[in-house]
Chains A and B, each alone.
Chain A
């Protein structure tokens, strides 16, 4: 599975439609390079990228924390 395929697997979750993060049918077409407008999608991308690159859990968590703390 490519990282884009893994991302699409997550984006197919109902939560994205329920929370209005994506419109119906958008998940299937979503590209990895689509610019980030949503924190959850960005977190997913960091997690997937880290996992695909065999990064350690700590590194991935750090990167996600940095992303989510940025607005402080």
Chain B
């Protein structure tokens, strides 16, 4: 069965009519994140199962929960009142019978004055053409529709054929008891062996009961036999309970072993995450310190304009000019001072001559006395007040009081700024020494700023590298830093649990053996009480059914192991093909049987069978994808794989680009037709070229999808549609 085409009308980001056609081989839809790859996967799934994948819930959500989310926003926005129909049509071609199946799903929303009325459910239309050239007839019978869908993709195959990259972990979840058994069921008829075991168990029990009854009937001491039978039944019940306990403990042991192994694989990554986290914190502290230092330095830089007088840079000429003017001023001042001094001295000399008292004139005190007495005591004559002699005496007294002029007195009469000017000069003199060193200081500060900035950038880059390394490790290992921190404790706890469970298993096994011995003893006693003869057919029946019981169990185990070995060989074939692009990867896959005999854990072992510990998540996903492919390829020959198309979205996103081409080669070998959505070929053009030209890849159609408006330029999706470009 080949999926010929998918037509999308107004489905999510696919506004308007869109069509992809497919052929045999690997068909690839290339697009970056958010370009519509997952929506295309949703479209396939929606038609078949009326559900779409919700990435946040990691689960499929039905139409009645999605409703208008299924409809293109652009179509809704552009539509005036009326009905908007979303539909997706899948066309399958059965190339052997040349018949065609057309599966369509529709969903309607009515728009009425901006009010939306959503249909509660979608509508499914299935058409069938017996021959491709005939007209299609609609299939209305529900059971026939189901049968057609099962023909297109049986339920047991579905998980391995149509899956999201994010589902790979859960499809092949080795922690779940039945994962490998389910895979083996797809691969084989192992359930038939299980059903035959159920028949053998039941027959063994009934034949034993029949024999016991016969023994009691033929007993020589019926009462003792009854008593022994009661003991036998009690013992058998006890053994059954112990066996059940044994199974439960073994399950616990297996779970603890699985968890220990999973944790062990993540231990190195957890350790690295922890180390990187510490490194990140330390770098963050350093960066903060350097940033603070840089901030301080930048603030100081501005302050130092004043504190370190950098503002004076370039004023050297001003000082020199001032200094010159000041010197001239000082000189002039000096000259003026000398001139004044000379004049004052001259005036004083003159005054001395002019106003000096005659030698015979008494001292002023005597003159004052004479004036008050109104009598000249020198000549002993009357000198009435205001008379000529009295006035002459007074004149003499006043002349004696005349002062000698000083330079200061002369200067008192003027505005004197010389002190300020001098201070300015002195300040300027002091500053002129600083000015010469400003350039050096500024240069040194800039050097320091540059150094700090460089350190900040380096630390910032280191921090960003560490963060990206941590993030990629967190994604790869599916561990967050706190989980990584707890991992070691959890690992120890699981190890302890495994050891404890092992001790319990040994102890229960001892009890069971002891009880079985007691049971044999009782059965012997019961046999010894038989007086008649047990019919030969009954003995034969018990013997045959005991052997039937033994071989059904041992054969089922053997067949299962053979299937696991086959699956392992197939998985290894695909694993080796996929890792060809990266020679650093080594080892082969081994499915290790756990203690309960039911669960298996994948391991990578070297050529000597030594386990390669601590696989990263990329390795584990590769192993899981190899196992999925093994389940399909192991069925080759039953033509099962020729009948179904692999449809998967982003299966390669977890492992590196080194494996992308290897994955495509393997897929094109294992599946007759596959449809892969990938971003790897969008980002890496060399990889895209290899895809389009590699002769080992059986290539179908390749499309490039791009949104009409980039996510970063969108405020809403009202004008969003998807461009589809065929690359081959």
Contacts and interface: CB of A to CB of B under 8 A. Distances in A.
Contacts of B188: 1
Q: Which size bracket describes the interface of A in this complex?
A: 20 to 34
Interface residues of B, number: 30
Given A6-B189, A15-B547, A51-B192, A39 B540 contact: yes
A72 B551 CA distance: 25
Given A68-B541, A72-B535, A15 B551 contact: yes
Contacts of B550: 15
Contacts of A64: 199, 203, 545
B536 A51 contact: no
A68 B189 contact: no
A51 B198 CA distance: 11
B627 interface: no
B199 A52 contact: no
A22 B562 CA distance: 22
A44 B193 CA distance: 11
B559 interface: yes
Contact of B195 (A10, A51, A68): A51
Interface string B189-223: 10011011011101100110000000000000000
Nearest to B548: A43
B537 A68 contact: yes
Given A1-B189, A6-B192, A19 B199 contact: no
Contact of A12 (B195, B200, B548, B558): B558
Contact of A10 (B189, B206, B537, B555): B555
Interface in A51-72: 51-52, 57, 60-61, 64-65, 68-72
A36 to B, nearest CB: 12
A68 B554 CA distance: 22
Interface in B549-579: 550-552, 554-555, 558-559
A1 B199 CA distance: 19
B346 interface: no
Among B198, B541, B545, B559, the one with the most A-chain Cβ atoms within 10 Å of its Cβ is: B541
B544 interface: yes
A68 B545 contact: yes
B545 A43 contact: yes
A48 B196 contact: yes
B547 A57 contact: no
A13 B72 CA distance: 62
Contacts of B193: 6, 9
A44 B203 CA distance: 12
A69 B538 CA distance: 7
Contact of B540 (A15, A52, A71): A71
Contact of A61 (B199, B536, B552): B199
B551 A10 contact: yes
Nearest to A69: B537
B547 A40 contact: yes
Nearest to B562: A9
Nearest to B189: A1
Nearest to A13: B551
A10 B559 CA distance: 9
Contacts of A68: 207, 537, 540-541, 544-545
Contacts of B540: 39, 68, 71
Interface in B157-171: none
Nearest to B546: A40
Given A39-B540, A71-B536, A71-B540, A44 B548 contact: yes
A15 B550 CA distance: 9
A28 to B, nearest CB: 14
A65 B548 CA distance: 13
B555 A47 contact: no
A10 to B, nearest CB: 5
B555 A13 contact: yes
Contacts of B203: 61, 64-65
A41 B149 CA distance: 40
B532 to A, nearest CB: 15
Contacts of B554: 13, 15
A9 to B, nearest CB: 5
Among B200, B203, B551, the one with the most A-chain Cβ atoms within 10 Å of its Cβ is: B551
Given A1-B188, A15-B550, A44-B548, A61 B537 contact: no
Given A1-B189, A10-B552, A39-B544, A47 B200 contact: yes
A68 B537 CA distance: 7
B196 A51 contact: yes
Given A15-B551, A71-B537, A43 B544 contact: yes
A-B CB proximity, top 7 nearest: A71-B537, A68-B541, A1-B189, A13-B551, A39-B544, A72-B537, A47-B196
Interface of B: 188-189, 192-193, 195-196, 198-200, 202-203, 206-207, 535-538, 540-541, 544-545, 547-548, 550-552, 554-555, 558-559
5 contacts: A1-B189, A6-B189, A9-B558, A60-B199, A68-B544
Interface of A: 1, 6, 9-10, 12-13, 15-16, 19, 39-40, 43-44, 47-48, 50-52, 57, 60-61, 64-65, 68-72
